[in-house]
Amino acid sequence: MRTKLWISLFTLFFILSGTLLGQPVKAADKYQQGQILVANPKMIDPRFARTVIFLCRHDSTGAFGLVLNRPVDNLSAQKFLDSIGIDLTKIKGRFQFRIGGPVELQSAYLMHNEEFGKDKHICKGHGVAVTSNIEMLKSLTEDAGPKRAVLFIGYAGWGAGQLEGELARDSWSIVPGNQETLFDPDADSLWRRSMEKRGLDL
């Protein structure tokens, strides 16, 4: 009986060793670049309550994201665009304007369809790219500009390990990045609909 017990324990140890030791967790598995963060109802930071964020970059140095559901009215949009030499009335295509986050509200970031612009991007994936290049921003007024675009003021940023800590505390849910969500025009209901898709209580 004791022999069978030892054999069973040895077999279990061998299986676990193959699973845990033979398959180490890769550093990349901790990072969620290209995914979408949905603030859970328990989010305590008022700056991010009920937000949906595209996680443009996430690695060992920190994370860079853009809030998808903080729309900006046309008057505020025109005031900001005037400051960087862009006329709102001349913008072509399907254009949206958002507050990307609380960091560097004097800076602009353009998310556009990936086939437009082959370089000078901060990140790309899921058919979209993000840039802060001023010439790319001004292309919004040109016929050859991006077909779909969202211009963000500011961004959401995390230091090294900070976002991982928030994920461990269940402050965020993670959903796959996709163009349907990234370019969703109904920003006001995006968080609620994202929660409903996750099957979580609001």
In a domain, residue 66? The reply is yes
Q: pTM here? A: 0.80
> Could you tell me the two tokens for 86?
């862009």
In a domain, residue 38? The reply is yes
Cα–Cα distance measured from residue 82 to residue 76, given in angstroms and rounded to the nearest whole number = 10
In a domain, residue 3? The reply is no
- Three-state DSSP at 77 gives helix
In a domain, residue 127? The reply is yes
The pLDDT score that the predictor gives to residue 25 is: 29
The pLDDT score that the predictor gives to residue 182 is: 92
Which H helix or E strand runs over 67?
strand 62-67
The torsion angle over the Cα atoms of residues 191, 197, 200 and 202, rounded to 10 degrees, is: 30
In a domain, residue 6? The reply is no
| Residue pLDDT, tens place only, 110-142 | 998 877 766 678 888 778 899 988 888 888 888
- Structural domain range at position 84: 27-198
4 has a pLDDT exceeding 50: no
Query: Per-residue DSSP letters for 137-166?
Result: HHGGGSTTS-SEEEEEEEEEEEETTHHHHH
Across residues 1-6, what is the average pLDDT?
44
- The CATH number of residue 185's host domain is 3.40.1740.10
In a domain, residue 13? The reply is no
Predicted confidence band at 197 (pLDDT cuts at 50, 70, 90)? confident
In a domain, residue 125? The reply is yes
In a domain, residue 16? The reply is no
The domain tally of the chain equals 1
